[in-house]
Structure formats: C-alpha cells, structure tokens
Amino acid sequence: MAPRRRAMLAAQAALDPEFHASLAAWGLFSGEELDPYLQLRLAVSERAASPAEVPRVLLARTALTLLEPSRLRHADPKAELEPVLTELLDRRLRDGAGRDKGIDDVLSALRKAAAVDPADRWSTFVEDNKKLLHPDVWRISPPVVITQPREGDNEFASRVEVRFEVLDPDDQGLKIIAPRALPAAWPTYNSFFCAMEETDRRDQLAPGRLQVPTTAGAPSWRRVYREKVGACPGGWFPDTYLLFTWSRSESQLIVYYALAERRPGDRTVLKIDEGYIQIDQLPGRYEVTALKTLLFDDKGCPSGGQLLARYAFELGWLDQAINWFSIDAAAGLSSQGTSGAVELEDKEPEGLDAPIQEMINGCEVDVRQVLSDVDAHCRSSMAKLRAGTYGLDAYVRDCALVTDRTIGYGARAVDKQIKLVMALLREKKGTS
C-alpha cells in the first residue's frame, strides 16, 4: 500500500472510532493517536500527477467530515488543510494568480457544506462551485458503499458493492476508458495493486477461453492473471489467479473476474475473490458499479477474514474504477506496461503492511505481548545454549514454562471470546 493511501486510511480511521478499533485489532495504527489533519495532509504530500493517487473525491469527502462543526478543532483550519485544499482547487486557479483566493473559497465551500445535513452535503459543496473545484471533484460523485455478509455452504462471505456516477459532458465514450480498464493496467490506476500478470500456462486450462487478444477494443475475451495486492512487490496473497472475462459494446464495459481453478501446491488463502466492474455509458454521464465478494479459506484461516473483506473499499481495493475517470488518467497510459508480465521478487513487507502480511501468512495477527514474550524467551535460551550452560534441567523448566503460557493464553483467549459473544448477545437483546 502506497504511503499516501495509508495516510488516507489513517485519516478515515481517525474520524471513525469503530473503524480505528477494527484496524487496531489487526495491528494497524494500534495504540496510535491519529491526527486526522496530519493524516489528510500526508495523503497529498508530494502527490504526483499520477492516476494511482488517492482519488480527489475521497479527499473532499473526508475533508467534509473533518470540517463538521462538532469536530472542528480550530477556528481557522486553513493552515492545517492548505495542501488538501490546493488539491481540490481547479488547476487553472491553482497555477494562476487567484490561488490564495481559490484556496479560501474551497475552504469556505467545504465549511458551508459540512454544516448541512449529510444527505445534502455533497450537492451543497459541488453546486455553484464547478469553476472553483478540480473536475475530478465535481465530475465524479462520492461512491456509495453497500456491504453485506452472505451465507452459503455454511460459510460467511463479505459482499461489497460500490456505486457512483461520472459526468461526461463531452460524451467522450468508452474508447477513452476501456484501455485503462484492462487488467494489466490496474496497477497503473491503483497503488493497492502491485501487479496483474498474464499467465499463459494457467490460461490454457481455463475453460471457455476465447481466442482473442486481450485488447481494449475486442468485444469479448477471457484470460487468467496473477493478482498481487497490498504489500508490494510480492503482495499479501500468494498464488492468487483470477480468470477475467472482458465484455465490451459501444455503450457498456464489463470486467468480470473470479478465482481461477485452484491447482495443487497453490498457497492462496482466498476461497472466493470475485465480482465485476460495470460501466454503462448514458448521454452525458457514466454509471459505474463495482461488486466484490471475498471469503478466506478456513483451512488456513478459521475466522474467515470478514473484517478485511468488509473494509475492502476503504483499503483501496476498488480505487482503480474511480481513477479511470480522473483527469490525470491519461498520464497513466503512456507510462503503463503492456502486459504486466514482470516477475517481481518477493521481499519482506514493511511498515503498516507487515502486520497484515503476518496475519495472512497463516491468517495471523501480531499479538505484541505474546511475540515479545517469545522473543525474550528465545534470547535467553539461545544465550545459554551459546554459553554452553543450557542443560537438561533448564530445558525441562523452559518447556514447562512455555507450555504453561500457551495453555494460559489459550484459556484467556477462549474466555475473551465467550465474554465477547455474551456481551454482544446482551446488547442485541437490549436493543431488540
């Protein structure tokens, strides 16, 4: 995950205690006091004219929440938000003499909108401000995210649906958008994707493959890609192969995907990763629907990973669908590769990605207390071994100690689980 996308995630967490608590339980921003102003500034820090950046519409929506009168920290937040306000400003104003006044006007539009009912907030912000705001802000509507757990085959999968509209006053059509939507181009339009690699060998085994090159102009084709997302370059999920189906007509584009057939030796922890992105071109606008269903394989992950799936949109998994419509999107095409078929060397993830990777390797999260105990124990034992003073008595004593701790931790964990379920049951009973 790119640093600016992480900062965006942190800004959202700072404004939503429930979301923060969920991420903290995964080891993300755990114990951190997040400053939403700082995080929002970091989300635009050294921003490039790249289509893989945080979508401006998300920056604007978060700024609106931040500026709600009940949350306002300063009487004049301009100094703290100036880099963000600049990103929301129309380019001609940003680069011209009217920059300072423009920034003031964007702030005043945000504050005015932040004070009204949330249902009318966006229209209040955008209406009458089109000449002031960057086109990415007023052309693309804020996404509506619908999440729902789905039950089938005695499993719970997470369904995430995202809908938004994009104004297209020039009726440019899908020929502009389609090349950006090719799977190989997804990493160009979303920093959450490390790579989408065509895989010839798996392709031959995919049923129903159409013998058509994977071009943007083709009406239909199918092809298997290896997906790497999250911690780049290796990605969070090993051996994730997706079978894509491309469907294109004059006024409609559908990119449909599902996990390709699992093969012996595959290490993927995903049982379901499927959905589609659908773009319908209508006069003067596009309607976009992105659907994703996720389920982790409980052979390696007993809990199902419902949390990660539930927040797939917030993690940036679907950003590319927004960024295809960005003004900066054209810059992406000239720099993107043609196939994405570059084998990247795996390396240890760092920063925020590390704890998620830790969990996914065996569906585990970083439990700081346990790990630090283990670390101290190992250091002590290894020091004694090196010094030649580690005897049978010490070994037996250590074995007893770690076994005792293991059972003790297990008992506490089970106790916590039971308390959690009982508390939730009481809460549900109380509200029903």
Partner 1 sequence: MNAPQQASPGPAPTKERQSALSEAVEQVADTVGKGYVAMAGVAIQQADRLSSGHYGLDDLVAGQFAVLRTWVKYATFAAETAVNNVALLAWPPAKPGEADPARIRELHVAVTFAPAGVTSSDLLGRVGGGRVPSAAVTVTTPPGDPGHVVTVTLHFGDQANDLYDGILRSADGTASKPFTVPFNEFGRPASAPQVRH
Site for partner 1 in 115-174 (CB under 8 A): 118, 142, 144-157, 159, 161
Residue with tokens 């009204």: 116
Place of tokens 């937040």: 77
Among 263, 372, 420, 426, indicate the residue that binds partner 1 (CB under 8 A). Answer: 420
Binds partner 1 by CB under 8 A, chosen from 169, 208, 388, 430:
208
Q: Which stretch binds partner 1 (CB under 8 A): 67-75, 172-180, 336-344, 421-429?
A: 421-429
* Residue 296, strand partner residues: 270
Rounded distance, CA 71 to CA 68, Å? 5
Q: Is 109 helix (H, G, I), strand (E, B) or coil?
A: helix
Give Dmax over CA atoms of the chain in angstroms.
Answer: 81
> Token pair of 411, please?
């008992």
Paired tokens of 180? 């950006």
414 binds partner 1 (CB under 8 A): yes
Among 330, 371, 376, 383, binds partner 1 (CB under 8 A): 371
Any contact of residue 82 with partner 1 (CB under 8 A)? no
Is position 176 an interface residue for partner 1 (rule: CB under 8 A)?
no
The identity of residue 42, as a single letter, is: L
**Among 50, 86, 199, 247, interactor with partner 1 by CB under 8 A:** 247
DSSP state of 183: G
Backbone angles phi, psi at 157, to 5 degrees: -105, 155
Smallest separation (angstroms) from partner 1 to the CB of 304 = 6
Site stretch for partner 1 (CB under 8 A), options 38-46, 74-82, 192-200, 295-303: 295-303
Q: Which stretch binds partner 1 (CB under 8 A): 88-96, 315-323, 339-347, 411-419?
A: 411-419
**For residues 103 and 138, what is the distance between their CA atoms, to the nearest angstrom?**
16
Tokens at residue 127, please?
A: 């209406």
- Enumerate residues 12-31 that contact partner 1 by CB under 8 A: 22, 25-26
Per-residue binding string, partner 1, 252-291, x by CB under 8 A, is x-x-x-xxxx----------xxxxx-x-xxxx---x-x-x
205 is an interface residue for partner 1 by CB under 8 A: no
Least distance to partner 1 from the beta carbon of 290, Å?
A: 11
Is residue 55 a contact point for partner 1 (CB under 8 A)?
A: no
Query: What are the backbone angles phi and psi of residue 324, rounded to the nearest 5°?
Result: -60, -25
Tokens of 137: 């802000």
What's the min distance (Å) between Cβ of 144 and partner 1? Answer: 6
User: Is 6 near partner 1 (CB under 8 A)?
Assistant: no
DSSP result, 304-342: TTHHHHHTTTTTTTTHHHHHTTSTTHHHHHHHS-SS--P
Shortest CB 102 distance to partner 1, Å: 27
Smallest separation (angstroms) from partner 1 to the CB of 338: 25
Task: Please state, in angstroms and rounded to a whole number, the distance separating the CA atoms of residues 362 and 224.
Answer: 25
